[in-house]
Chains A and B, each alone.
Chain A
Amino acid sequence: MHFEYTVIEGDFVNAGSASSSVKKTLKQLNVSPAIVKRVVVALYEAEVNAIAHAYGGVVTADIESNQITMRVIDKGPGIPDIEWAMQEGNSTARPEVRDMGFGAGMGLPNIKKNVDQLNVQSTVGVGTTVEMIVNLC
């Protein structure tokens, strides 16, 4: 099953709608609640990141019998230092992002904690792709 959602820069009202849709699908597929929570927490963090930091992008989710692969592909500005961004507490979030309860520099580290495989590729001026894989059984 393949799903695709558009993410719009700064659209905090709809932040989480892609994750919500994936959650409903996984529940219908009877995936265990603990795994569903890990999947959607990771995807939601990545979705909020794309809305907060990037010029929009797409979220894709591919569900197979034994795993889900999620990609959040944005159109830039890109992450200059991924290692720095992966450290808890490091953030470049704007004040409005902090007002929404985010921007504490915990997104990428929390994604890492919740997924089985994480791959972040970024080119400054081009964009970032966050690929997350979670085993479903």
Chain B
Amino acid sequence: MKLKQIAELLEAKVLCGEERLDDNNDYCFSSDLMSDVLTLGDQNPIIVTGLCTMQTIRTCEMGNLEVVVFVRKKKPTPEMIELAEENGMILLSSDFSMFKACGILYQNGLKPLF
């Protein structure tokens, strides 16, 4: 699915990486636990999270996870956005709950890793 479509479905604001909205990713993983995000091995899904800290960005940097959707109206700080930009990441922010965001994405064809 194109990231543009994901942003539209979740009524999300694009915080950085706007130039890459035509990129595709068909897999999604949602968690507020970065320890879990670090166990995904060589898979690089879209991350849906309500954990909005510098470590969210760092964890995704380490895991080559380039697309992060913040849910529950979480807004990253300018420092977090700057670090994401440095690493070529795409950050989206949606007001939807994690349940609603994941439900919509699943219904529209995004796949789980397991």
* Residues of A that sit less than 8 Å from B by CB: 12-13, 15-16, 19-20, 23, 33-34, 37, 40-41, 44-45, 48, 99-104, 106-107, 110, 113
Contacts and interface: CB of A to CB of B under 8 A. Distances in A.
Interface residues of B, number: 20
B38 A44 contact: yes
B32 A101 contact: yes
Contact of B42 (A23, A37, A100): A37
Contact of B34 (A19, A20, A33, A100): A100
B62 A15 contact: no
Contact of B55 (A34, A102, A104, A110): A102
B39 interface: yes
Interface of B: 32-39, 42, 51, 53-56, 58-59, 61-64
Contact of A40 (B34, B37, B39, B62): B62
A110 B33 contact: no
A37 B55 contact: no
Contacts of B33: 101-102, 104
Contacts of A20: 58, 61-62
Contacts of A16: 55, 58-59, 61-62
